[in-house]
Chains A and B, each alone.
Chain A
Amino acid sequence: MTDTTASRQSDSALRDASRLATGVIENVEAVIVGHHDAIEHIVTALLGRGHILLEDVPGVGKTMLARSVAASVDGEFKRVQFTPDLLPTDVTGVNVYNQKTQEFEFRPGPIFANVVLGDEINRAPPKTQSALLEAMEEGQVSADGTTREMPQPFTVIATQNTVERHKAYDLPMAELDRFMTKLRLGYPDADEETAMLGEVVGNHPIDALEPVATLAELQAARQAVAEVTVEEPVRAYATRLAAHTREHARLGVSPRGSINLLRAAQARAVLSGRDYVIPGDLQTEAPVVLPHRVRTDNSDQPAEELVAAALDRVAVE
């Protein structure tokens, strides 16, 4: 094992990144009761330069979770409520004619922010969705022939409603693929719900939430995560996992999916204070990174099951 793929980074950068992640998690947990795993996944996606899709029934705290994560970072936070009549320019921004200067000037849409919360993204028509998704993937926005760079860091946390499907435009696979993780929150436990109710009847704790990280710190943490070592056995394991899904489903995990899996695993390694990825990291992240990229042969079989089977059967070495 002499070839190291990523250069060794200083321990301090790694420690800082680890501390940041832990800080954000603790901060969010001050607001959100339960959902510890989901919070960790969101933080790993945040550090792994990915976007997050939260999918569940209304009222389980999707938006609250996204907001608290955004509030934990001292950056610009915007929120877009997607509706059936939302236009692409409502998201990306529009050129307006300035009477004073007699020129068109660009008025940036809500997407120009460090953390963007896209609420109920599946309510908007595909055209509007794609405007958001271009920004997510390319890190840039095209309007009237001009391409504008997004600010860094840039993370989209989108939520998606699973009820009232007939009133929604389901995201196409190609666009789902661009989210690093897709999470389901689920209902809290009875105990957790009771505790949560106790907290929120008075002042909602989110109002008191303070940022625990600056944008620069977040950027540095992201950099540290990107330099986490991913050795050949781990890469090979990721490849085997993807191959397994491709063999057993109509549509398997794309190379982009594998990349995202490794990035999430890198962040997960940092979360554990390691500067190298172990297969266990992949196994932790795979259930939220892979399923939404898989379309099974049989509609009765959920993609989650297939991914779980892949984790069970593909040999770890």
Chain B
Amino acid sequence: MYHLIDVVGSPTRFLLVAGVALVLGALLARVLHPGLATVIGVGLFGAGLVWYVTNLATNPSFDVLLADTVELLTGRRLLQIANVRLWVTSFAAAPVFLTTYFALRRWYVMAVFVAGLTLSFFVLTTDASVVTTLLGVVGGVAGIGFGTLDSVANEGRATTSGADPPPTVTDADDGIDAGRRSVLAQLAAVIVLPTVVSRIPGVEGTALSLLSGASGTVEGSLVDAGDSLTVQGSLSLSDVHRFTIEAEEPSYWRVGAYDRYTGDGWVRTGNASEYDDGEYLGDGPATETRKLVQTVEVESDIGTVPAAWKPVRYEGDSDVLVTRHDGLQPESGLESGDSYRVESARIEATEEDLRAAGDDYPDDVTGTHVQLPESTPDRVAATTDTLTENAETPYQTALIIERWLKRNRGYSLDVSRPRRNVADRFLHAMSEGYCTYFATTMAVMLRTQDIPARMTVGYTPGDAVGSGRWEVRGLHSHAWVEMYVENWGWVQFDPTPAGPRQAAEQQRLDEDGDGGTNQETLTETGTTPTPTPTPTETPEPGETPTPTPPPIRTRPPDATRTDERTVTPAGTDDGNQLPGVPSREEAALGVVALLGTAAGLRRLGVPERVSRGLWLRYQSPETPAEDVETAFQRTMYVLAERHRERRPGETVRAYLDAVDADEDVRRLAGLRERLRYGGSVSAEAAEEAIDIADTVVAER
């Protein structure tokens, strides 16, 4: 469960600490008194705490720490802590030590208790995914179950180790084997039952369900995602009217940014701070800016404050917070009818300025913005290297990546979510996706070049209604990338092909047939050059210094690996639709589920029942002797079902008398008696026996 550390990279130190704790626990398990060990464990925890606090860059007061802890326990993700690496390294030692110690001392319940405590912490912070939690719980149950059996077995051996007869031992072993099987079956039930329950139609989507909803809307997955965002599978577009914005020029209405990439999603680190109406936020590093004033009327409830980048002043009906990334965030949601005014400082940089910018980034920018999960495959960096080898500055790199993605990946809302690293899959296996995939991939690619980049979500300008007025709907939600340019700050890039996306949006509107006005306006927007809301995305002709991306319609020479997939944006029959290889946790759970199901079935006697049913119904002639015996056993089975089983000490005759069997059965019993005890049977008798048995079974 600790491998979440992987997200923040370079887990060496963490592994070292955990390893030392593990070895320590293992060594001390033999010699140390439990009480003392608990003290040491608590001591380790305390030491980790002190170390964490003293190593924090900022020096928070005690109550802030306390508040943070409470927030963590009420669902805040651990990855939102700015310095996750430090946190995990500080706190890993104690649980690892205690768990190892107790497990080796055969105090399985205590060991599982400690591990479970840790796990529940992760569950509360929502860092543990369903699968991880399930695996943890299954592991815990297995630990207790098998552990207890192990103890019992040991005690059994200890008590019978003397001059006791071997039968006792084998009996005990048999019992333990049965116990193991039953534990296994229970584990399978733990895994399988919730899954099955989730599949029941009425349950899906309720709290009982383990399966996340099959498809949501783009808006739901992006804009309403809150502090963390998971890349989804297939999505649809919603046409709910969100807000109307009045501004001098269109822009991407930005809602928020995410800085920590987890492989399958994004997390926003850091706390939001309070903001007083009208307070002026800094312009950022850019020296030349242009003021853009937007007035927004909220048309339906939203939990965000859309505004053009970079907001510097806010006045409105509800209070807002400022995120660590200078974004605005309402304290509570905005209601329909609310309105606000945002002043944004837009960067007034020329193409040359941006192109010339170097790679000298401030420390607070590089921190989480260039970090990638340790599990990110090297080929992401390799592919990006190849693509951008001719770029001289970070800005050129970004332009190349942006254009490459636009040209080589199709737009589709109907994709199956990759199981692992989204960026890697989108870059190397998938042929199409939607804005989240484009933006994620571009951000990750930039980061492989050590360029600070982050994932940004919000809305596209929307439908123009009159001059300086735009209607923004749910279907305009979008994701793009912000890259930090030296001396200028965060600059926006949109790697998603604009044409197909707008087509999709329009199609969505057409489907509803919302009325002529909408369609008309949409057509207008479709033709307006909205894909370049910020000066960063200047038209392509001016791209002479980057010769690598060749003219349109020729494939990039270096992207050999993706060549075949570059052409068809509409094709869905590519390799990307294959289900991905399951993760290790899922595989482990699957194996346990399989084994357990097998054990459970065996416990329930399903195989026996099936073979019995077959045996009962179909008798193929063998030798007369076998025929008679089988026919007899079939009949007895039916009689046992109908009346009662023959008691062990009861002779067949007594039994038949007791159940008042009919003549045929008695005749069959007589044949069998003669065969079994008299040693003779004829072929005719065998046939007769089978006939009788068939009749009896048929009457069943």
Contacts and interface: CB of A to CB of B under 8 A. Distances in A.
A314 B649 contact: yes
Nearest to B649: A312
Given A311-B649, A314-B648, A316-B650, A234 B679 contact: no
A122 to B, nearest CB: 33
Nearest to B675: A1
A137 B651 CA distance: 32
A283 B678 contact: no
Contact of B679 (A1, A274, A312): A1
Interface in B631-665: 646-654
A276 B651 contact: no
B387 interface: no
B679 A2 contact: yes
A103 to B, nearest CB: 56
Contacts of B676: 1, 231, 233
Interface of A: 1-4, 229, 231, 233-234, 274-280, 283, 310-316
Contacts of A276: 674, 677-679
Contacts of A311: 649
27 contacts: A1-B625, A1-B675, A1-B676, A1-B680, A3-B679, A4-B680, A231-B677, A231-B678, A231-B679, A233-B676, A276-B677, A278-B673, A279-B651, A280-B651, A280-B653, A280-B654, A283-B651, A283-B654, A312-B647, A312-B648, A312-B649, A313-B649, A314-B648, A314-B649, A315-B649, A316-B646, A316-B650
A314 B649 CA distance: 5
B436 to A, nearest CB: 70
B73 interface: no
Nearest to B646: A316
Contacts of A2: 625, 679
B679 A229 contact: yes
Among B649, B654, B681: residue with most chain A CB under 10 A? B649
Closest 10 CB pairs of A and B: A276-B678, A315-B648, A312-B649, A280-B651, A4-B679, A1-B679, A231-B677, A278-B677, A276-B677, A279-B651
A121 B676 CA distance: 42
Contacts of A316: 646, 648-652
Given A1-B625, A280-B654, A234 B649 contact: no
A310 B648 CA distance: 10
A33 B52 CA distance: 105
- Give the bracket for the number of chain B residues in contact with chain A: 10 to 19
A207 B582 CA distance: 99
Contacts of A3: 679
Given A4-B679, A229-B677, 4 more contacts: A2-B625, A231-B677, A316-B649, A316-B652
B651 A278 contact: yes
A118 B230 CA distance: 102
A274 B649 contact: no
A311 B649 CA distance: 5
Interface string B190-223: 0000000000000000000000000000000000
Contacts of B646: 316
B679 to A, nearest CB: 4
Contacts of A233: 676-677
A281 to B, nearest CB: 9
Contact of B681 (A1, A229, A283, A312): A1
A315 B654 CA distance: 13
A274 B673 CA distance: 11
A274 B670 CA distance: 12
Nearest to A233: B676
A283 to B, nearest CB: 6
Contacts of B648: 312-316
Contacts of B680: 1, 4
A94 to B, nearest CB: 49
B678 A229 contact: yes
Contacts of B652: 316
A275 B681 CA distance: 14
Contacts of B681: 1
Contacts of A229: 677-679
Contacts of B649: 283, 310-316
Among A231, A277, A316: residue with most chain B CB under 10 A? A316
A274 B678 contact: yes
Interface in B618-635: 625
A138 B674 CA distance: 35
Contacts of B650: 316
A99 B647 CA distance: 71
Contacts of A313: 648-649
A278 B651 CA distance: 9
Nearest to A275: B678
Nearest to A282: B651
Nearest to B650: A316
B655 to A, nearest CB: 9
A252 B224 CA distance: 84
Interface in B421-456: none
Among A1, A3, A278: residue with most chain B CB under 10 A? A1
A243 to B, nearest CB: 14
Nearest to B651: A280
A274 B650 CA distance: 20
A234 B651 CA distance: 11
A187 to B, nearest CB: 28
A283 B654 CA distance: 11
A173 to B, nearest CB: 26
Contacts of B647: 312
Among B646, B651, B652, B679: residue with most chain A CB under 10 A? B679
A227 to B, nearest CB: 13
